[in-house]
């Protein structure tokens, strides 16, 4: 009995060391996350005036929010555009990266090279490069060239494709979505790097014995996919969806607007109010999507 007691206390003593390891995070969370977070809420309700030795707050109530929603010239429009674009991109990125991971997980010659190339966007597709590429003149020239080739029949252009689909009597909404997707395809592929890695790591972690049993039972590849691969990947699917949402909401035109309005006219208060509206929206979206997906998530064990 005595021994048992001693053992317990030793173990809980050891566990106390854990606090020491995570202490930096706790400090960082309080000082550089929670405090600024609360301050951001306070700022959004105030006007901030810079003085010599610091800053002063002038209480505005919900004035900043009203200004952002009713008066600001660009916020509403940009907000809607950003949200729609992101909502189109997310399923495309997930589906593409899922598909790409399955391809890269198969054995074939040149697989190593293919993986090297597929992971390349992780390196190139971020920050300043991406924003410069968006306004690149070079790309425009190239695009007009491709457009000309399409007109002369060398490449099947987007317009012809859309005509084709209209002839098939597909619903217009679907055609619009497909057309947007085709426009976005390069962007989707280039923003899927991390997601492919995550899915691939997930595929690798599925125990081969599951497949062996399935083969012994005479399962077809189709059945193996839907009965093993897909369910086993659903937890990772959730991780990836969350990552994609965060990733695409962290860098876009709206975020640039928020940043610019902090520096330029309007000031910190307005910018904070925009941030809060935006954050609230992302939070609600995340809760809805995570809630929907986690119902279908299958946990092994």
Please report whether residue 59 would count as binding another protein according to CB under 8 A: no
Give the whole-angstrom CA distance, residue 219 versus residue 223.
Answer: 6
Give the whole-angstrom CA distance, residue 295 versus residue 285.
Answer: 16
The single residue among 200, 229, 241, 266 that binds another protein, judged by CB under 8 A, is: 200
Please report whether residue 268 would count as binding another protein according to CB under 8 A: yes
Give the whole-angstrom CA distance, residue 138 versus residue 54.
Answer: 45
Please report whether residue 180 would count as binding another protein according to CB under 8 A: no
Please report whether residue 227 would count as binding another protein according to CB under 8 A: no
SS3 for 73?
coil
Residues 228-267 that bind another protein (CB under 8 A): 235-236, 238-239, 242-243, 246, 249-250, 255, 258-259, 262
**Which residue number, 115 or 227, has a Cβ lying nearer to another protein?**
115
Give the whole-angstrom CA distance, residue 254 versus residue 260.
Answer: 10
Please report whether residue 108 would count as binding another protein according to CB under 8 A: yes
| 8 Å CB contact between 214 and 223 | yes
Please report whether residue 19 would count as binding another protein according to CB under 8 A: yes
Q: Which stretch binds another protein (CB under 8 A): 67-75, 159-167, 170-178, 279-287?
A: 279-287
The structure tokens listed for 82 are 């950003």
Query: At which residue do the structure tokens 């495309």 appear?
Result: 92
Largest CA distance in the chain: 90
The single residue among 8, 22, 87, 174 that binds another protein, judged by CB under 8 A, is: 22
Counting beta carbons within 10 angstroms of the beta carbon of residue 157, is it exposed (0 to 12), middle (13 to 18) or buried (19 or more)? middle
**Which residue number, 17 or 216, has a Cβ lying nearer to another protein?**
17
The single residue among 154, 186, 288, 292 that binds another protein, judged by CB under 8 A, is: 186
Residues 139-158 that bind another protein (CB under 8 A): 139, 141-142, 145
**Which residue number, 29 or 62, has a Cβ lying nearer to another protein?**
29
**Which residue number, 7 or 259, has a Cβ lying nearer to another protein?**
259
- DSSP string of 3-60, one letter each residue: HHHHHHHHHHHHHHHHHHHHHHHHHHHIIIIIHHHHHHHHHHTEEEEEETTEEEEEE-
Residues 111-140 that bind another protein (CB under 8 A): 112, 114-124, 126-129, 132-133, 136-139
**Which residue number, 61 or 110, has a Cβ lying nearer to another protein?**
110
Q: How many residues of this chain interact with another protein, rule: CB under 8 A?
A: 91
Please report whether residue 198 would count as binding another protein according to CB under 8 A: yes
**Which residue number, 109 or 171, has a Cβ lying nearer to another protein?**
109
Minimum separation from the CB atom of position 191 to another protein (A): 11
Query: At which residue do the structure tokens 């929603």 appear?
Result: 69
- Shortest CA distance to 41 belongs to which of 222, 272, 256? 272
Residues 24-53 that bind another protein (CB under 8 A): 24-29, 31-33, 35-37, 39-40, 43, 53
Minimum separation from the CB atom of position 289 to another protein (A): 12
The structure tokens listed for 245 are 């949402």
CA distances from 114 to 93, 103, 105, 111, 118 (A): 18, 10, 11, 5, 6
Give the whole-angstrom CA distance, residue 27 versus residue 31.
Answer: 6
């Amino acid at each position: 009995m005595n021994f048992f007691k001693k053992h317990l206390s030793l173990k809980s003593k050891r566990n106390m060391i854990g606090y020491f390891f995570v202490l930096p995070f706790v400090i960082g969370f309080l000082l550089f996350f929670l405090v600024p977070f609360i301050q951001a809420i306070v700022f959004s309700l105030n006007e901030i005036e810079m003085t010599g030795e610091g800053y002063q707050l002038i209480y505005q109530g919900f004035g900043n929010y009203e200004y952002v929603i009713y008066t600001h010239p660009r916020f509403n429009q940009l907000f809607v555009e950003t949200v729609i674009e992101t909502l189109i991109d997310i399923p495309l990125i997930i589906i593409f990266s899922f598909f790409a991971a399955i391809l890269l997980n198969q054995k074939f010659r040149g697989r190593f090279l293919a993986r090297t190339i597929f992971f390349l966007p992780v390196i190139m597709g971020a920050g300043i490069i991406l924003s410069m590429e968006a306004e690149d003149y070079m790309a425009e020239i190239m695009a007009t060239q491709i457009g000309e080739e399409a007109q002369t029949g060398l490449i099947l252009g987007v317009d012809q494709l859309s005509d084709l689909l209209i002839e098939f009597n597909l619903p217009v909404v679907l055609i619009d979505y497909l057309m947007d997707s085709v426009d976005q395809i390069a962007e989707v592929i280039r923003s899927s790097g991390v997601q492919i890695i995550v899915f691939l790591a997930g595929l690798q972690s599925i125990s081969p014995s599951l497949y062996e049993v399935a083969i012994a039972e005479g399962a077809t590849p189709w059945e193996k996919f839907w009965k093993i691969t897909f369910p086993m990947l659903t937890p990772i699917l959730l991780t990836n969806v969350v990552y994609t949402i965060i990733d695409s909401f962290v860098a876009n035109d709206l975020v640039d607007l928020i940043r610019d309005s902090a520096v330029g006219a309007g000031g910190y208060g307005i910018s904070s109010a925009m941030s809060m509206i935006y954050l609230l929206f992302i939070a609600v979206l995340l809760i809805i999507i995570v809630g929907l997906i986690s119902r279908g998530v299958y946990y092994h064990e």
